[in-house]
């Protein structure tokens, strides 16, 4: 395999994952650094992959700790592993966060199905509650809009690792903030 083919395969896998709920790469670990300089990680759904611009889109609740963490430090790492392809992708870069009132958040909110909108109606993520299942009561799903945020990661480094018995392959790809490829190289796995 050459570097170009390896890179294309990685981005194709992400593009597919953004539209296929069955894809393992649809569920990525988003890693941030918190206010005490400790690493934090959580699963998020890959909502969109803009292959050409090297951008990944996620949705979240603006009341969640991760939103605050990214406001202070927009440098994040995203990690995924696709067992079918035996491919690990580690993507790093800077996020931009779009809250209610922005065109980007409004456009994404409009596309959300009702049941997804409902997930933004409850109490602030991470706060204690009395029982495992608290119903949101009569609150309308529309109430969630003010809590809905879009996170767009501009990937500047992709570390791709292909597991292959006896001949694992690993390569690093660097991108400019416009998504242009700046450099690539093979690494020892």
Ligand X SMILES: Cc1cc2nc3c(=O)[nH]c(=O)nc-3n(C[C@H](O)[C@H](O)[C@H](O)COP(=O)(O)O)c2cc1C
Contacts to ligand X by CB under 6 A: 27, 40, 42-45, 58-61, 64-66, 125-126
Q: How far is the CB of 157 from ligand X (least distance, A)?
A: 22
Contacts 24+ apart (CB under 8 A), 43-51: 46/14, 46/17, 46/18, 46/80, 47/18, 47/108, 48/18, 49/11, 49/14, 49/15, 49/17, 49/18, 50/179, 51/11, 51/12, 51/14, 51/15
Closer to ligand X by CB, 46 or 158: give it: 46
Closer to ligand X by CB, 126 or 189: give it: 126
Closer to ligand X by CB, 69 or 173: give it: 69
Closer to ligand X by CB, 98 or 173: give it: 98
Tokens in use for 41? 């990680």
- Closest by CA to 136, choosing from 157, 161, 119, 151, is 119
Q: How far is the CB of 62 from ligand X (least distance, A)?
A: 10
Q: How far is the CB of 12 from ligand X (least distance, A)?
A: 22
Q: How far is the CB of 32 from ligand X (least distance, A)?
A: 7
114: three-class secondary structure by DSSP: helix
């Amino acid at each position: 395999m050459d570097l170009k083919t390896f890179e294309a395969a990685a981005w194709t896998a992400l593009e597919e994952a953004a539209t296929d709920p069955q894809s393992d790469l649809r569920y990525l670990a988003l890693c941030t650094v918190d206010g005490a300089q400790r690493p934090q990680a959580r699963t998020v759904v890959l909502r969109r992959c803009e292959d050409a611009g090297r951008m990944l889109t996620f949705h979240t609740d603006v009341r969640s700790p991760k939103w605050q963490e990214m406001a202070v430090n927009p440098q994040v790492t995203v990690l995924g592993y696709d067992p079918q392809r035996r491919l690990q992708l580690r993507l790093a870069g800077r996020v931009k966060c779009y809250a209610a009132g922005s065109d980007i958040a409004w456009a994404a909110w409009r596309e959300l199905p009702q049941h997804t909108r409902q997930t933004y109606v409850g109490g602030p993520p991470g706060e204690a509650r009395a029982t495992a299942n608290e119903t949101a009561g009569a609150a309308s799903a529309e109430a969630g809009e003010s809590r809905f945020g879009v996170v767009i990661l501009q990937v500047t480094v992709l570390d791709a690792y292909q597991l292959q018995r006896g001949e694992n392959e690993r390569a690093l790809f660097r991108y400019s903030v416009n998504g242009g490829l700046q450099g690539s190289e093979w690494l020892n796995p």
